[in-house]
Amino acid sequence: MSEPLESTRDVELEALLLIFRANIELLINRLRQCSGELEGTDPPEGAVIPALAAARALDGVIDDIVEILVCQARSEGQSWAAIGHALQVTRQAAFQRFGSRSGDAPLVADEIVADAPGRAIRAVRRFLAGELDDLREEFDQRMTKGCSVGLLDSVRSRLTEELGSVADLGAASISSRFGYLVADIAIFYERGERKARIALDHDGRIAGFFVLDSNIPREIRLEGEQM
């Protein structure tokens, strides 16, 4: 079991920081395509639409980060006047936008806990198989807004280029982190390993989906588990 984080906001910030970094990288690549820098020629026709989508996705992630930081500021005793000043709005506007946010996540239902390993394995398989629209149907609102098909596909393609094809999957290791279920799953490629991390909310929807560096040994693989 993983060590619990200090609060639900810590879990959310951890997830959002990973989404933010990935979206920044995607947006930079899309902007470079628009300028023709990657090809060294004129920008390809239609390149601006993927760049526009990437910019909007990043904007949504920033909104979520601001919301969590406002909650953190309030928990530290900061006034709505100070928060409004930082956001360049009135204290009344800051309160109207953020004042009703709850700091506690609902408990996860028992049936979702029992099915968490299967849900996580299915999500990873869909990612690896390129079934990205199907995968995103399992996302919660925040992930849908911040993690596009283009972002998922870019990560998947980069992993394949770097590590080759997928040879095997490991078991799903489940931990509970303040209202979220977090599943870690080893992905064994031809030339290395990575770790998929999937966070499930109280409804069983995917609140976080990441592929991280991993030092998980091959001994934890599920015997007979095939891709």
| Residues 21-39 pLDDT 10s | 888 888 888 888 777 655 5
Once rounded to an integer, what is the mean pLDDT over residues 87-98?
83
> If you search the block for the tokens 């928060």, which residue do you land on?
83
Q: Which residues on adjacent β-strands are paired with residue 182?
A: 175, 199
Q: How much is the average pLDDT of 4-30?
A: 72
Altogether, the residues listed in the chain come to a count of 227
Check whether 90 has a pLDDT greater than 90.
Answer: no
Name the residue with higher pLDDT: 188 or 12.
188
Helices 8-35 and 149-163: crossing angle, nearest 10°?
80
End-to-end CA distance of the chain: 25
